[in-house]
Structure 1
Amino acid sequence: MLVLGRWIQARYVRSVKDEESAELLRCFRKVMDALCWLVSGHVQLAELVLRQEHFLQLLMTDDVESSTAVMSLLQAILRANSAVLHQIPEETLHPILDELIYKLSATSNPVTGRSATQSLLLMVENNPQIVRMVGTRYKGLRSLLSKKWTGKGFGRELSRLLDVLYSSSYQQEEMQRLHRAACIIQALWRGFRIRKRMRKLPGAVTSLQRSFRAKRHEESKQQQRLREEEDLRECLKLRRLRAMREFREKQLALLEIVHAGQMDKHIRDTQETAALMVQRHWRGYRDRKSFMLQKQALRQYKAAVTIQRAALRFLKMRRRIRESLSPWKKHKDLKDEERSRLQQKVDSHLQLHPAQQMSLEQSQELHGKVQERLGHLLLSRKQQQRSEHRREALLAQINTDISMLMGAPSLRDAAEKDMDFFTSRSVPVALKAKQCHSTMLKRSRWPWWKKLSDDFVEEENASLGDLPDLEHGIIFIAGSKQP
């Protein structure tokens, strides 16, 4: 369809007759409308349309009608697929932008200017990168639009485009200003650092020279000391060799003086002396080795002795503190004189207060009396324990009965199972319960003025013949609740 549109556009530009031009223009617009309808239905075709060279050729024309139709197609593509500008490369966008900017700058037709302005506005609104691209490539565009196209009938679109371009240019100017400020700050900082370093350079050189000279002087002193030590060792070695040589020469001189018959004795004495020296050195080496082996054990033994001494001292101190705080004081051992004096006091007391002598019969009689009294005491103690137990059981039973009577329900609320709780097999208890029951019944029938008295009237003439059979249990009712 782009090829068809290109062919129709070429025929339209070359046509001379008005009827033919109008017919070709109508066909061209119909092709553009069909292409718009196709792209709006299939948005994936928008990228392919913009990438085609035929589209750029259709746009690059000076005819107002055909260029307006092509820019309308561009606007329809951008409205159908706003993300298409992110998908096509910059090499494809640059020619389209160049052609739109050329139309805005070269022509003065309001229709072409309006279409170009709308197309450019859609492009910069859908892709912010195009705003930076336009601000970078076309620096005088904002002033051109404001001077040339103001008051041409499309002020709203123009003002929106100018606002977008102004914001982008302002951001670029702000970024450039910040960049220049950063460059100035970096230059000043680097200059300050270099000047500071240059000011410190003489002192650093002096310090470096001083440290280098000190190090070189120290190295020279170290080398001098090493040379002196080496010379001293060589001197000592020479002295030792000289002394050994003199000693050997002296021995040879002495051997020349010794008689030939005493040579064996002299050699034997020399060998014994050498053997003694070897033995002394060997024993010293052996003892030192054994001492090094026993040194660790000896150290452990000394440590154990020290710990034991400290522990014994601590225990002795604690024992002394405990004895000082204890209320019981240990008596000192008596001496012989004190022991004899105390024994004399005991003997004199026994003489003044002699013990009473008893016969065997008296002792047996006294023993019998004691046993009899002890038996009576044990019997009475058992009886007291039984009575005490009986008293405690009776008190417990009375407390239980009282608690049951206090919590007894009224006759209206009583059930058959409650009868077992108030059943007693004791005749006195049953008699007392019957008397209380009859008294309460009579009292309930009294008039109101008679009930004002606080005296509690009891029936004393209860006959034993009226008692029920006690073998099957007796029911007694007590309390203040009305039946």
Structure 2
Amino acid sequence: MAEKSSKTIDNSNILRIAANIVDAGDQEVVQLLLELQQKLNDAPSNAAQKLRHDAFELGLLDVCFSTLLNSDYKEVDGKWNSVAKIVELVCDICSVLQPDQDQDQANQFEQAVLYAAEVLLKVANIVHKDVHQSKTQSMEIRIEVTRAFRIVLDGMIWLVSAHSWLALFVLQAKSYIALLMSGENDTASTIISIITNFISIRPGICKELQEDDINNIMDELIYKLTTTNEIVIASTITRLLLTIIEDNSNISLTLYERYKGLKQLVNRWIGRGFDNALKQFIYILDSGSAKSAHEYRINHAATIIQSAFKGYKERKKLKSAQQAMTKLQQKIRKRVQDKIAKRIQDKEVEVAKRERDIRKRKDMLKSKERQLQALNAIPAAKMAEYFTKSEILAATKIQSVWRGLVARRKFKIESENLRQWRAARTIQRCARKFLDRLRSRKLQAAAKESLMPPGLDDQRRTELMTVVEKFKKQHSEVERSQEEIEEMLYDIEDILTHYWSFLPNWRRKQYEMDALVARIETETELLNEAPSLSEVQPEDLEKFTCYSQPIVRKAQEEVQADLKALEEPWWKHLGGDSDSDDDDLFPEFPKLRN
């Protein structure tokens, strides 16, 4: 609430500023206007509208006009920043000047807005001259002046967006034509973009302009297009000309008849980054109308597409023919290489066979030579015995080879029989299990049928009905009075109240028990997974560190007792010392006496 009240602006502030302006000097007027602009910006949206109306009724808008037209900007505090803020104040006040049903008030608002647009145009011309003169000054001053100039033009666009009928007045004004003619490279784009914004705000405005006005604008745009060396300005002008032709198609005929030879001057911009817009503009210059240019562009585009497609088809055919020829050459080369490789392989096999035969012959000759040498060394009396042993060895070798062949054949036959026998055993085992399952199912079905109770006859049914009726009489509902029912309800309420009062304590104890069990399980798991003492790392100690003071104290006492026991002599541990230690550790358990 405090923040909201601080932002609320009373009408007295506007009255105070208006009263002070009457007796103030030029510098003080500027400061008061800047203060007014700050007050309007800080005001909430619901109060700002009324404050702007009050400022207009008090004549503060006229004060802004006179300050902008009569002040020397170089002598004003803040210089160009102050001018820019006063322009914003003018646009802010004019934004609420919307005509009502009252005709006199509507005429007053219209005259004020028209004069505001005229003042802004004059201020723009004054600031633009200072932009031109600031080229010889420092960079900071140039940036400040250029920024103020752009703020003035933005204010003009914002004013036209609030009052679209002003666009026609601005474009017909001599001040804007003078501004357009005096625009240089660094400000021309900003000045030209005003026309584009006006067309988007008020479509069809080019049809409302007089022929002389539109010709003046077109002459200046064509002049800048043909004389400038800046790509940004040329691109902006080209797109603006296309926008104007789109807004008023009759201008294309004026271009065709009025500007002969413009195509040769425009062709120098081809390949500078805005070829699409430039080609469309050249089509309009060649055809004389936007419709003919559109048809020519479509036909030209169709020709390009057809030529590209035909070229694509021809290249695809050529590529497929080249691929086919390449594959054919690869197959022929591969076949020739395969024939050569086969011929070489056959020769190598034949050479290897010859070498193997020669080696066998050499080995046979060597073995016969060794036999002859052995025979020469044997006495004549033992020659018969030697031949007998040789024949026996040969016969033994032949028999072993034959028996091995017969054993391998027999093993092959026996392995096949063994495989068949195993397969037969597997099939028989599966068949027996299947038959056993069928037999067990039949036995179970027969047992169930034998356990089914016999059918009921009329006598048995009468007996059962008698038993049921007797049970109903014995266990019939007891009729209770209203007092007994209320007493039972009170008892039930007491039981439920006791249950619900006990339930939170029970749940809390259950949660504590579950948490304790989980903690014990976690610590048990940590102890089970604990590494040996030789493998313990410093970071493992954090897992087994306990922060409970009783447990820490108990652990310290046990460690001290163990250390003390280690320091004692061995004979003190004989006897019943262990019993006393056990009693200290577990005092709640009684001693086991023999």
TM exceeding 0.5: no
Which range, TM-score by smaller chain?
Answer: 0.3 to 0.5
- Structure with bigger gyration radius: 1
TM-score normalised to structure 2 length: 0.33
Tell me: higher relative CO, structure 1 or 2? Use CA pairs within 8 A at least 6 residues apart: 1
